[in-house]
Chains A and B, each alone.
Chain A
Amino acid sequence: MTNIAVLVKQVPDTNARIVISDDRVDLSAVKMVMSPYDEFAVETALQHREASGGEVTAITVGGASADKVLKDAKAIGVDHIVRIDCDSYLDSNSLQSMISSVISEIGAEVVYCGKAAADTGAGSTGPGIAERLGWASVSNIISATFSDIISVVAPVQGGNARISVSLPAVISCDKGNVKVRKPNVKGIMQAKKAQVDVKSASPSSSSISIISHSLPPSKPAGKTYEGGAAAAEVAQLLRDEANVI
């Protein structure tokens, strides 16, 4: 029996166009979804439960609108859903301290998360909470098998390796070979009725402040050619003008 936690985050649909107004990203018109890599984390957590027994708790941080991502996780099959209530900007330090305190409170022995959230792309949360909890961590795994220890496949310099990890541990998931299960009707009905366990945690002081958001600088217009024969000229320019060949 293993007490398993999985971290999920609500992010803008990856196909959405990002709009800036008043120096801040404006997400008011954007569809929010579970961060894609978190889907692999949920699937891996469920597979771990199937192998060892136990229960899976999905945890998110956000305001009430973030309940949707928890309901999505519930519909796929997690047992419990927890939201750490906070609607303001958190730097990595505050966010990780809040999540680690809730992980300790629920007594989880293993935490799964996506390798990075599709909004910040930072990938700091998994290793960061592992350090705060004094746990092992492996990042960017592409497959996992479960016994007393967890055996994962993860990238190392020059290729992949099979790595053994003893619990407690934090494991972040890349896309890999995992097929993600879809919610069934029963799951969706249960998710509708499920209660979100709302927890409060106080953020610690932050040493980072956001100055502004902006759109990436647009490149000056390039040169365009018609017809495949131009590839010869482009090859020359790559060497003589761009110096990249």
Chain B
Amino acid sequence: MSQTIVIAEIAKGAIHPTTAELVTAANALGSAPIVIVPCTDSTIADAAGSIQGISKVIALKSDIFAEYDASGWATAIDAVAPSGIIITSANPQSKDLAARLAARRNISVVQDVVAIEGGNLVSPIYSGKAMQTVSLAGDAAVSVRANIFAASPQGASADVSVVDATGDMATAVEEFLARASTRLDVAEANIIISGGRGMGSPDNFSHLEKIADTIGAAVGASRAAVDTWEPISHAMQVGQTGKTVNPNLYIAVGISGAIQHLAGMRSSKYIVAINKDADAPIFQHADYGIVATWEEALPVLQASLSAMMN
């Protein structure tokens, strides 16, 4: 059994729930993992100790973990992680770290794993238009997509040891920039409601925003909408040249379902499509399809969701 090492996912100064999914993936690949928690305050690591199926927790404490610096983080983590299979989350920052750690150890990296089948790793290629299955011979770094593996349950009490890390930052944050939009980012959202050119005008995205506010969703857009309308920013674009997302729920409104768009959202757990054209390809991928104009469907959806949330 290979040694596995999980790099805990940290968000807003705490262990992110995805970490428990990484533990499940680690157990599918080898022995119970060592969980490394990169942190500035080691008390946050205690939460990782309660995840079942781990061998121990190392709270790796240093000021360098206040802001992400690829070189500094990889150096510090490499120094405490034993050899084995390193597992990270597959958000952009963690993929970057996985690549750095793999290169540092002269081992291979496999990104965006969505399944582990008999020790082989499955990940999407061509933005999900095809899947690739690879076998591992030896150590590797592996990033795992969120919302796919079941979270390992709570209730354990593994040992947590605190290790002081040192490392040099190779980059420096000069300033944080105010977000153009205060809305939730599609890359961080569990629910996304996206609009396409079928919305008719960028002003009509306000109807999507209203629903997004009701259920805590992010607002996304198709490439056609982003390319056509200046106010719809590229940051909202879901698809092959935008963001690849896999939320629990994806609601596509006025989106026909071009192959480019499908590539970015087809792995969403549930997909709702609202489109007036019954032949739109998006319906072939929808769990729930509504053939209607957005003008008809969105007010009803808004009212029903509002009633549920109250």
Contact = CB atoms under 8 A, between A and B. Distances in A.
Interface string A115-138: 100111111111111111001111
Nearest to B128: A216
A17 B249 CA distance: 25
Interface stretch (B22-30, B43-51, B52-60, B298-306): B298-306
A122 B129 contact: no
B108 A175 contact: no
B203 interface: no
A17 B74 CA distance: 37
Given A124-B98, A127-B99, A159 B125 contact: no
A92 B100 CA distance: 11
A135 B80 CA distance: 21
Contact of B177 (A91, A124, A162): A162
Interface in A1-50: 12, 14-15, 17-18, 20, 25, 36-37
A230 B300 CA distance: 8
Interface in B115-144: 120, 124-140
Interface string B190-212: 01000000000000000000000
Contacts of B301: 231-232, 234-235
B249 A213 contact: no
A3 B286 CA distance: 50
B87 to A, nearest CB: 15
A219 B265 CA distance: 13
Nearest to A222: B287
A157 interface: yes
B272 A234 contact: yes
Contact of A160 (B71, B179, B249, B295): B179
Best-buried of B126, B170, B174, B300 by chain A (most CB within 10 Å): B126
A210 B120 CA distance: 10
A230 B260 contact: no
Interface string B132-176: 111111111000000000000000000000000000001111111
A229 interface: yes
Interface residues on A, range: 35 or more
B288 A223 contact: yes
Interface string B281-304: 001011111111101111111011
B100 A216 contact: no
Contact of A227 (B12, B102, B292, B309): B292
A93 B141 CA distance: 11
B308 interface: yes
A202 interface: no
B308 A17 contact: no
Contacts of A214: 130-131, 133
Contacts of B96: 123, 127, 137, 139
A32 B297 CA distance: 40
Given A237-B288, A245-B215, 19 more contacts: A120-B125, A121-B111, A121-B125, A123-B111, A125-B99, A160-B179, A162-B174, A165-B170, A206-B108, A207-B108, A208-B137, A210-B134, A213-B125, A219-B287, A222-B271, A222-B286, A227-B290, A231-B300, A232-B301
5 contacts: A131-B70, A175-B234, A213-B133, A230-B297, A234-B272
Instruction: Across the A-B interface, give the 10 residue pairs with the lowest CB-CB distance, nearest first.
Output: A228-B296, A136-B170, A235-B304, A131-B103, A124-B99, A228-B297, A231-B300, A228-B292, A231-B301, A128-B103
Interface of A: 12, 14-15, 17-18, 20, 25, 36-37, 91-93, 96-97, 115, 118-132, 135-140, 151, 153, 155-166, 169, 175-176, 204, 206-216, 219, 222-232, 234-239, 242, 244-245
